[in-house]
A = this chain, B = another copy of it.
Amino acid sequence: MIETLNKAFCALPGVGKKTAQRFVYHLLERNRDGGMELAKALIDAMEQVGHCSSCRTLSEKDICNICINNHRTNTQLCIVETPSDIHAIEQSSAYKGKYFVLSGYLSPIDGIGASELGLDALEQKLHKQGIEEIILATNATIEGEVTAHYISNMAKQFDIRITRIAHGLPIGGELEYADINTIAHALSGRKDYNY
């Protein structure tokens, strides 16, 4: 039972055997209530959290709080790789438009193509709504650049400004770990995207 719990904790990113064991002993010796609360919170979240049907971020409701917010402009759409990226950008308070979350990045080797990524849904969005600018905020990795390039190519057919978030972000690093000032800077310094 202790061993099973150890292994289960190792499913968390960055958690190895030693850290898992610290978690287990801590909960068993000092905080069983906390352990039970964590279990319940896990079950609730795993069973009930879905994705916003508009932007595809993680959401408990059909439409997330950002998509439903009338004080945010519908003319800008920021395209990110993960819900964590939205959270990071929101922390910077530098953006007041809407988002679209890709399901990762293009990776043909792993079988992740345009439709797996949700790019057909994105294309429909660009058709229907009064979007004037899309901001490509995929990560500054090879896959992120390829994805940005692919989307800008697809969006050419619409009369839309296409921008890329500025590379104040550390190259090769990931958006969700950047500090808020770097993110704010990168957003304000965004440039038209020429492919």
Contact = CB atoms under 8 A, between A and B. Distances in A.
B87 A21 contact: yes
Interface residues of A, number: 46
B58 A22 contact: no
A32 B60 contact: no
Interface in A6-36: 7-9, 11-14, 19, 21-29, 31-32, 34-36
Interface in A29-57: 29, 31-32, 34-49
A31 B14 CA distance: 14
**Oligomer: number of copies:** 2
Interface in A84-138: 84, 87
Q: Which of A38, A47, A84 has most chain B Cβ within 10 Å?
A: A38
A99 to B, nearest CB: 15
Given A2-B58, A49-B2, A60-B1, A37 B25 contact: no
Interface of A: 1-2, 4-5, 7-9, 11-14, 19, 21-29, 31-32, 34-49, 58, 60, 82-84, 87, 176
